[in-house]
């Protein structure tokens, strides 16, 4: 049996009349980088919030490391690093204080790695969080999500705050390293060229349903037209238009 890190079965979620997730079945084995893509409002954040136990499954089941994240939040969250789109860090803290505060929660916190990340992210330990730019806050959020080397790293639209240099040079390298160490990354994005650069496996959500879920290579091969291999962007735009079945 495969060692599943995330196992979601027939998950449905409604907000009033809106069906945000419609019988979603989705699983991730250990190791690798998994991209979750879809238009605004497709259901990506709602799925991630279920995985983190922030929303209770109305129908269907969610298991992370074989556990129910709502029933056993400590058992699940202590093994997950998470960077949200909002990235709500305490503005009154200095970067160095934030790092010391966070390390207290995680026995596996790696001081050397945290210091390396702070250096490569060019974050000043004395700077107050509230004075950081959006991109610097995103870097700080990423640092604290990474420095205890979580088994599963969940990033919700990490690129929305990160500048192109961090995205291209650092994020990709960090994500690849995590995968090479046998750990798992799930990241949502609407930037398909970025997903294409870093993900091994791509899942596309369209209006609350899984439209495509396969390895990048399988997706490319199945949409190849002679010598022309379309980009993810072309594949997904066509898919949304109903041109590709």
Summarize as ranges the residues that interact with ligand ATP (CB under 6 A): 15, 18, 20, 38, 40-46, 190
Q: In whole angstroms, how far apart are CA 193 and each of 61, 62, 153, 196?
A: 32, 29, 20, 5
Euclidean distance between CA atoms 13 and 47, whole angstroms: 9
- The residue among 22 and 97 lying less far from ligand ATP, judged by its C-beta, is 22
Q: Would you say 48 or 98 has its CB closer to ligand ATP? A: 48
CB 189, min distance to ligand ATP, A: 9
* Nearest distance, CB of residue 173 and ligand ATP, angstroms: 25
Between CA 123 and CA 121 the distance in angstroms is 6
Residue 53 beta carbon to ligand ATP: minimum distance, rounded to whole angstroms: 15
Cβ-defined contacts of 54-61 (< 8 Å, 24+): 55/13, 57/11, 57/13, 58/12, 58/13, 58/14, 59/10, 59/11, 59/12, 60/8, 60/9, 60/10, 60/11, 60/12, 60/23, 60/24, 61/7, 61/8, 61/9, 61/10, 61/11
Q: Closest distance between ligand ATP and the C-beta of residue 15, in Å? A: 3
The structure tokens listed for 4 are: 């599943």
Instruction: Rank residues 38 and 150 by Cβ distance to ligand ATP and give the closer one.
Output: 38
Report which of 121, 52, 130 is spatially closest to residue 90, judged by C-alpha positions: 130
Smallest gap from residue 51 Cβ to ligand ATP (A): 12
Based on CB atoms, which residue is closest to ligand ATP, 42 or 140?
A: 42
Nearer to ligand ATP (CB atom), residue 15 or residue 92: 15
Pair of tokens at residue 206: 């369209």
The least distance separating ligand ATP from the CB of residue 208, rounded to whole angstroms, comes to: 7
Indicate the residue among 10 and 177 with the shorter CB distance to ligand ATP.
10
């Amino acid at each position: 049996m495969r060692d599943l890190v995330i196992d979601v079965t027939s998950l449905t979620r409604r907000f009033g009349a809106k069906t945000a997730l419609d019988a979603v079945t989705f699983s991730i084995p250990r190791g690798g980088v998994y991209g979750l893509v879809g238009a605004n409002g497709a259901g990506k954040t709602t799925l991630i919030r279920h995985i983190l136990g922030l929303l209770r499954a109305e129908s269907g089941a969610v298991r992370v490391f074989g556990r129910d994240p709502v029933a056993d939040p400590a058992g699940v969250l202590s093994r997950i690093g998470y960077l949200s789109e909002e990235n709500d860090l305490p503005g009154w803290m200095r970067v160095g204080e934030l790092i010391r505060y966070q390390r207290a929660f995680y026995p596996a916190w790696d001081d050397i790695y945290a210091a390396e990340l702070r250096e490569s992210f060019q974050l000043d330990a004395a700077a107050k969080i509230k004075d950081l730019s959006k991109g610097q806050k995103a870097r700080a959020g990423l640092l604290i999500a990474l420095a205890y080397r979580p088994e599963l790293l969940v990033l919700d639209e990490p690129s929305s705050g990160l500048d192109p240099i961090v995205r291209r040079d650092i994020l990709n390298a960090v994500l690849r390293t995590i995968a090479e160490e046998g750990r798992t990354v799930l990241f949502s994005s609407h930037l398909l060229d970025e997903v294409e650069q870093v993900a091994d496996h791509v899942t596309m959500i369209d209006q609350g349903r899984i439209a495509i879920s396969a390895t990048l290579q399988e997706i490319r091969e199945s949409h190849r037209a002679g010598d022309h291999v379309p980009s993810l962007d072309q594949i997904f735009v066509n898919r949304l238009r109903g041109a590709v079945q």
